[in-house]
Amino acid sequence: MPRIVRGYVHAVDAMNRFIGRIAMYLIFVLVGVLLWSSVSKTLFTPSLWTLETAQFVMVAYYVLGGPYSIQLGSNVRMDLFYGGWSVKTKAWFDAVTVLFLMFYLGVLLYGAVGSTAYALGYFGTEPFAFFRDLLGALLTGGLDAAAGKLGYLERSPTAWRPWLWPVKTLLSIGVFLMLLQTLAELFRDIGRIRGEEI
């Protein structure tokens, strides 16, 4: 495999390993939030923020840990025939099926970016153009110019009413990282087909 492909695989693996190792500690944050929810419902006035905070932490845990899970091969597989195949046959099968996953993640990323743009007050049909303009305003005019590009920030319709852009941004980043990891897995499978281990 070319050096640039090996470098890409190693860089993406290192980045997702680092992020995934940090994200796995979010389970303790989730437990803390749910514990406080139980205590506050039992002893005090129930907190309004606990349910949505638990949902947001779970989203972060799931989407930031997903690429690391793919890297470790700990995702769920139907192992009826797969376990008995040779390494090369598994690599062929994985190389074909990862293309379907990449397509799905691409569609999911487009939707996540559009939803994030909507949460930041953009109601048009070109979310990538919105982010390009927002980045251009930030680089040329600073925070004030970028804030001028934002519209009405979307909030949750619950009593607590948190802004939704942070969790939607996190979702977009997590899906993008998962897409990068699946591309690295595709390169790894192509290497196995060629008899090389990356």
DSSP 102-114: HHHHHHHHHHHHH
Tokens representing residue 65 in the block: 């840990």
CB-based contact 41:155 (threshold 8 Å): no
Q: How confident is the model at residue 167 (pLDDT cuts 50, 70, 90)?
A: very high
134 HSE (CA, 13 A, CB side)? 15
Percent of the chain predicted with pLDDT > 70: 100
User: In sequence order, which residues have a C-beta less than 8 Å from that of residue 41 and are 6 or more positions away?
Assistant: none
**Mean pLDDT computed over 83-108:** 94
Which residue do the tokens 């699946």 mark?
A: 182
Residue-wise pLDDT tens digits, 22-81: 999 999 999 999 999 999 988 988 888 999 999 999 999 999 999 999 999 887 777 788
Q: Looking at residue 76, what is its pLDDT?
A: 72
3-state secondary structure of 5: helix
Residue 76 phi, psi (nearest 5): -75, 130
Give pLDDT, residue 187.
97
Confidence band for 144, pLDDT divided at 50, 70 and 90: confident
Q: Which two tokens stand for residue 167?
A: 């969790």
Six-digit token string for 59: 């989203």
- Residue 177: exposed, middle, or buried by beta-carbon count in 10 A (0-12, 13-18, 19+)? buried
- Residue among 100, 115, 108, 104 nearest 169 (CA): 115
pLDDT category at 145 given cuts 50, 70, 90 is confident
The amino acid occupying position 107 is V
Determine the average pLDDT of the residues in 109-118: 96
